[in-house]
């Protein structure tokens, strides 16, 4: 635990999708602020979390997993990560240790995608390598060759093996980071955990439940927009209306489910998470709307609260992270996705999009208007719903 003069600085959590960046952020904060799921590309926008560790203030930026983008959303996600890295005092480059099959010890090697991303980090950047998920390896000696292989790729300020899930080694990495932050007065109060408004997390917690409840392309085709967030001053029930945007009628039918059961489940679980965050009772109402191809449209991304990928860092041609990636990353803006474009072998996973464009024929759950479904997400308690106006009017 660092002592002495106050330190404060920005720390970017960077890495491929699914390596455990959000889990580490939550472990550092001691609170499940960021959403976590086994589905790659869960995090879509950089999330800032603040933690105080001894005399040091760590302003942690959890970034979307770096991948080969195929849509405007994918580009926006990569840009968010790139900007976080550029503005950071310290980069925590996170990788996951490979799953060791059976008893056969083999020499684990760095993932090719990690090699690509590391090569694009500026040499002067302070980079701490985090080897996550060490709980998956019984024989910890296997880590040594892996650490040594990574050490050949660039100079790391430190290499820290840990398990973010088991919170094993987290204090150690915070110590290492704190040591390299500049001396500066703290910018945030001890109770402050994030600069994101509560409504941002309300949308995230709805999306988290969709990620947990649905499979294949559905989670990636969903965006959640908060239409109304009313938090009465002086206490009382917080009222939230949110719309889940999907791309296809079949996805809408899946999200709503038979008898709106799925939507109710998503709403009930999300409401619990939001209530935990705001410390008050929440009345959450959900709608589902079809917004075809929202991920491919800059305008719709902006409307849904995702940053415009085409006007920001990508347009300035920054090379911090992506010098080795395929052309489509620096391609001029456009909403077209060329799925047949030849891929260079950069080792990065492609953005998750649907492979099968066929619609399910399960459109029976759609309302006659075809575009909106009102789900009263309150569960059986039925205690906080009476005050609401008719959903369809509120959402026009
Ligand atoms: N076994 C094990 N699993 C972990 C550990 N840390 C994270 N996970 C799991 O890995 C999955 C992905 O974790 P996230 O924290 O969402 O990963 P991420 O890097 O933020 O993912 P993206 O949002 O896709 O960039 C989840 O199922 C986590 O529970 C760990 O230390 N050990």
- CATH number of the domain to which 240 belongs: 3.30.300.20
What is the structure's pLDDT at 390? 29
What is the structure's pLDDT at 320? 23
Residue 126's domain is classified under what CATH number? 3.40.50.300
Q: Count the domains in the chain.
A: 2
Residue 96 belongs to some domain of the structure: yes
pLDDT tens digits, 117-172: 888 888 899 999 999 999 988 888 888 988 999 999 999 999 999 999 999 999 99
Mean pLDDT of 304-312: 49
- pLDDT category at 67 given cuts 50, 70, 90 is confident
Ligand 1 centroid to residue 222 C-alpha, Å:
20
Residue 332 belongs to some domain of the structure: no
Q: For the residues of 230-262, what is the DSSP string, one character each?
A: E--TTSS-EEEEEEEEESSHHHHHHHH-GGGHH
Say if residue 88 is in the same domain as residue 131.
Answer: yes
| Residue numbers of the domain that contains 279 | 198-294+363-378
Residue 346 belongs to some domain of the structure: no
Q: Which of 85-94, 212-221, 301-310, 361-370 comes out lowest in average pLDDT?
A: 361-370
pLDDT tens digits, 18-40: 999 999 999 999 999 999 888 88
- pLDDT category at 86 given cuts 50, 70, 90 is confident
Q: Does the structure show a pLDDT above 90 at 89?
A: yes
Residue 48 belongs to some domain of the structure: yes
Say if residue 220 is in the same domain as residue 166.
Answer: no
Say if residue 133 is in the same domain as residue 270.
Answer: no
Residue 121 belongs to some domain of the structure: yes
Q: What is the DSSP code (8-state) at residue 361?
A: S
Q: For the residues of 45-108, what is the DSSP string, one character each?
A: S-EEEEEEETTEEEEEEE-PPP-B--SHHHHHHHHHHHHHHHT-SEEEEEEEPPPPPTT-----
Say if residue 92 is in the same domain as residue 174.
Answer: yes
pLDDT tens digits, 187-235: 998 788 888 888 989 999 999 999 998 877 777 888 899 999 999 998 8
pLDDT tens digits, 260-281: 999 999 999 999 999 999 999 9
Q: What is the DSSP code (8-state) at residue 11?
A: E
Residue 290 belongs to some domain of the structure: yes
Name the residue among 229, 232, 171 with its Cα closest to residue 205: 229
Say if residue 283 is in the same domain as residue 255.
Answer: yes
Say if residue 152 is in the same domain as residue 204.
Answer: no
What is the structure's pLDDT at 109? 81
Alpha carbon separation from 4 to 64, 179, 211 (Å, rounded) = 34, 11, 43
Say if residue 212 is in the same domain as residue 149.
Answer: no
**Which of 165, 211, 351 has most ligand 1 atoms within 8 Å of its beta carbon, as the pocket-test mutant?**
165
Say if residue 29 is in the same domain as residue 102.
Answer: yes
Domain end call among 131, 151, 179: 179
Domain end call among 179, 211, 232: 179
What is the structure's pLDDT at 104? 58
Q: For the residues of 214-237, what is the DSSP string, one character each?
A: --TTGGGG-EEEEEEEE--TTSS-
The structure tokens 């999306």 sit at 207
Name the residue among 28, 41, 109, 101 with its Cα closest to residue 76: 41
Q: Does the structure show a pLDDT above 80 at 303?
A: no
Say if residue 107 is in the same domain as residue 66.
Answer: yes
- pLDDT category at 106 given cuts 50, 70, 90 is low
Q: Does the structure show a pLDDT above 60 at 82?
A: yes
Residue 60 belongs to some domain of the structure: yes
**Which of 15, 22, 23 has most ligand 1 atoms within 8 Å of its beta carbon, as the pocket-test mutant?**
23
Name the residue among 190, 205, 208, 214 with its Cα closest to residue 238: 205
Ligand 1 centroid to residue 32 C-alpha, Å:
13
Q: How many whole angstroms separate alpha carbon 394 and alpha carbon 60? A: 37
Say if residue 130 is in the same domain as residue 239.
Answer: no
Ligand 1 centroid to residue 323 C-alpha, Å:
26
Ligand 1 centroid to residue 279 C-alpha, Å:
26
Between these two residues, 180 and 306, which has the higher pLDDT value? 180
Q: What is the mean pLDDT of the chain?
A: 76
Say if residue 158 is in the same domain as residue 235.
Answer: no
Domain end call among 179, 208, 237: 179
- pLDDT category at 309 given cuts 50, 70, 90 is very low
Residue 306 belongs to some domain of the structure: no
Say if residue 18 is in the same domain as residue 47.
Answer: yes
């Amino acid at each position: 635990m660092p002592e002495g003069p106050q330190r404060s600085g920005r720390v970017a959590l960077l890495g491929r999708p699914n390596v455990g960046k959000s889990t580490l952020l939550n472990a550092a904060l001691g609170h499940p602020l960021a959403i976590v799921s086994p589905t790659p590309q869960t995090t879509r926008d950089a999330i800032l979390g603040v933690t105080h560790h001894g005399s040091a203030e760590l302003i942690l930026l959890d970034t979307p997993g770096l991948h080969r983008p195929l849509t405007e959303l994918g580009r926006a996600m990569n840009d968010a990560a790139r900007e976080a890295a550029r503005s950071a005092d310290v980069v925590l480059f996170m990788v996951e240790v490979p799953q060791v099959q059976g008893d056969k010890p083999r020499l684990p090697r760095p993932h090719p995608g990690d090699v690509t991303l590391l090569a694009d980090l500026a040499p002067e950047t302070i980079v701490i390598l985090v080897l996550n998920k060490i709980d998956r390896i019984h024989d910890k000696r296997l880590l040594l060759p892996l650490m040594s292989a990574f050490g050949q790729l660039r100079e790391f300020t430190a290499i820290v093996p840990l398990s973010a899930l088991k919170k094993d080694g987290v204090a150690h990495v915070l110590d290492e980071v704190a040591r390299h932050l500049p001396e500066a007065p703290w910018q945030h109060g001890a109770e402050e955990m994030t600069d994101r408004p509560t409504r941002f997390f309300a949308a995230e917690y709805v999306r988290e439940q969709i990620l947990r409840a649905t499979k294949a392309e559905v989670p990636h085709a969903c965006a959640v927009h908060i239409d109304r967030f009313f938090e009465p001053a002086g206490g009382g029930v917080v009222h939230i209306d949110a719309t889940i945007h999907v791309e296809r009628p079949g996805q809408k039918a899946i999200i709503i489910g038979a008898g709106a059961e799925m939507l109710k489940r998503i709403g009930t679980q999300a409401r619990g998470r939001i209530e935990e965050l705001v410390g008050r009772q929440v009345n959450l109402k959900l709608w589902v709307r079809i917004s075809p191809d929202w991920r491919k449209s800059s305008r719709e991304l902006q409307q849904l609260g995702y940053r415009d990928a085409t006007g920001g860092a990508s347009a300035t041609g920054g090379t911090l992270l992506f010098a080795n990636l395929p052309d489509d990353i620096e391609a001029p803006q456009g909403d077209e996705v060329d799925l047949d474009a030849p891929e260079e072998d950069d080792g990065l996973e492609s953005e998750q999009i649907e492979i099968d464009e066929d619609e399910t024929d399960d459109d029976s759950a759609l309302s006659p208007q075809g575009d909106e479904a009102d789900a009263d997400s309150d569960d059986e308690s039925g205690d906080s719903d009476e005050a609401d106006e008719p959903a369809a009017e509120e959402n026009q």
